[in-house]
Amino acid sequence: MQAFKVKGMSCGHCVRAITQAVQARDAAADVQVDLGSGEVRVASRLEDQSVLEAIREEGYEAELL
């Protein structure tokens, strides 16, 4: 499982948007979002860069932890 720091998440809509963006690229991805810490953890066959791109396409700033 890889962890990402994501800025701009504030609500359930953010959680759904990020989860759906990653799962659009890998339907089997396990996405865990922690709004309090601003962390997104992803277990997926995707490369880290692909996960970052999916999150950024939703309008969030993201970086690998």
What's the pLDDT at 1? 93
What's the pLDDT at 34? 97
Q: 62, 40 in Cβ contact below 8 A?
A: yes
Write down the CATH number for the domain with range 2-64. 3.30.70.100
Which tens digits make up the pLDDT trace of 12-62? Answer: 999 999 999 999 999 999 999 999 999 999 999 999 999 999 999 999 999
Give how far Cα 20 sits from Cα of 13, 29, 30, 63, Å. 10, 10, 11, 18
What's the pLDDT at 12? 96
What's the pLDDT at 8? 95
What's the pLDDT at 35? 96
What's the pLDDT at 20? 98
